[in-house]
Structure formats: structure tokens, C-alpha cells
Amino acid sequence: MSSLLSAVESALVDSIRSRLHQKLQPLFDHTNRCLPILQSTCQQIMNLMGPNSSADSLAQIISRDHGLTCKVLQVANGIAYSPQQTIASVPHAVSWLGLDTVRSLVAAAHLVEQLQHWPERQQCSGP
């Protein structure tokens, strides 16, 4: 009886694991969007644009935002920048891309997110 119960439990666990994997896989697929970027993170980065800004301070701010971390790592590892090895850390990505590129990336990513949330993605039309 216990071996039958064990087999049923095992089959149930496998079924649940398979369904869970199917549901969660799109969240980790690199071709899909990342998590949303926090408005406060974008503001902190834009405030950091002065001459006292450093790659370390920029990387620290980015690392606290999972959505932005995802986006920066995707861009750094993208074909446009062709790294010889996978860039797996935010400080390495910031160093590889450069401060100005990362700031531009943050501004562009934030703008795209804001436009996606615009009611019904309104379009401007001529007179």
C-alpha cells in the first residue's frame, strides 16, 4: 500500500512540477520583457548624472532594481556589444557599456514602460 501511495505522490509531484515549470518559464525567457523598472530608481540614476557620479554608485543603484538589472544585463550581453564572455554582474555591465550608455538605456527603458501603460496606447492624430 505504501509503495502505491508513494507512486501516486511521485506522479502528482511530477505533474505539479511540470505545470509550474510551464507557467514560470516565460518569466525567465531572455526574449521576454523584464520586470518593470521602478520610477524611484530611474530618478536616482538621473540625479547621479553630475561630475561626481561613478560606475560603482551607478551599479549599486541598478542592482537594487531587479527589472533594471535584467535590462542592463540583456543589453550588455546583446549582439550589439558582443562580449567575449557572458557578463553576469551589474558592475561589469556598467563598466562594459559605459556610464552614458547606461544612463541612456535607463531613460529609454523607462520611457518605453511609461508608453506601454498609456491608456489604450493613444495615438496622436493630425487635424
Tens of pLDDT, residue by residue, the chain (127 residues): 566 667 777 777 677 767 665 665 554 454 556 777 888 888 888 888 777 788 999 999 999 999 899 989 999 998 888 888 999 999 999 999 998 889 888 888 878 777 766 654 445 444 4
CB-based contact 86:77 (threshold 8 Å): yes
* Same structural domain, 53 and 111: yes
- Domain coverage including residue 65: 39-121
Largest separation between any pair of C-alpha atoms in the chain: 78
In Å, how far are 18, 21, 31, 88 from 80, measured between CA atoms? 35, 31, 15, 17
- HSE-up (13 A, CA, CB side) for residue 78: 11
* Same structural domain, 49 and 105: yes
Q: Which amino acid is at 125?
A: S
Residue 111 lies in a domain: yes
| pTM for this predicted structure | 0.64
